[in-house]
Amino acid sequence: MEVTIPKCDIFTCDICVDEKFATNDMFKILGCNHSYCKNCIAKYISSKLQENISRISCPVTSCNGQMEPHNCRSILPNDVFVRWGDVLCESMIFEYEKFYCPFKDCSALFINECAGVENMVVVITQSKCPECKRLFCAKCKVPWHSGFVCEEFEKLNKDEREIEGLQLVKLVKSEEWQRCPSCRMYVGRSEGCAQMRCRCGCNFCYKCGAHSSDHYCNSCGT
């Protein structure tokens, strides 16, 4: 026996463009007349939370409809609902008061309790993330730069700030190598005067690293 479903019991979701049962699958947006299927709305909310957007509005541009966690609880997986609560809490913290664990596979949230306090001197630099238990610099907000004070670290090029780069810079410091100002390759001197000629043809001073003539450095007078 063929059963005919009344048209009033079926609607088409504008997101997936599939016909759904209005009674079981329809989700109505608060504050507007738009409706979508529950599965699409759950995916829509999840995508917005991935962008750290806490105030989620109707998918229709310029629509005033809003979605609230308590109204969407029944259609969301538990991890998505929990994530929504976390994002809402984070949105209440001013940007200058928060930062995240610098390790990309952790990214735990931290609150800077000294933010906005005038004349506050940051004394603590080495800190441990309570989530991943790894060390980071609270001042530079990067993984711990062992062997370098913050001022030295801030002067490093971006390609030198990773672990491998820091190890190379340590070796450069211990061997007292100098960097060619033209090709940026490191050069080591075993003996002789301070006037160096790199394999790229650049003449530079091994003492200060500046361009120089064949026999004299205008920067440091060597």
In a domain, 170, yes or no: no
Residue 1 is predicted with a pLDDT of 45
Cα 53 to the center of its chain, rounded Å: 15
User: pTM score, two decimals?
Assistant: 0.46
pLDDT higher than 60, residue 6: no
Structural domain count of the chain:
3
- Report if residue 152 sits inside a domain: no
Average pLDDT over residues 94-119: 70
Whether residues 131 and 105 fall in one domain = yes
Mean pLDDT for the stretch of residues 198-206: 84
Task: Report whether 126 contacts 144 (CB < 8 A).
Answer: yes
Between 30-34, 78-82, 125-129, 190-194, the lowest mean confidence (pLDDT) is in 190-194
Position 218 scores a pLDDT of: 65
Q: Is the pLDDT of residue 117 over 60?
A: no
Residue 149: inside a domain: no
Range of the domain at 17: 7-90
For residues 130 and 193, membership in a common domain is answered with no
DSSP codes joined into one string, 97-149 = GEEE-SSTTT--EEE-TTTT-TT------EEE-TTT--EEETTTTEE--TT--
| 166 found inside a domain | no
Answer whether residue 153 is part of any domain. Answer: no
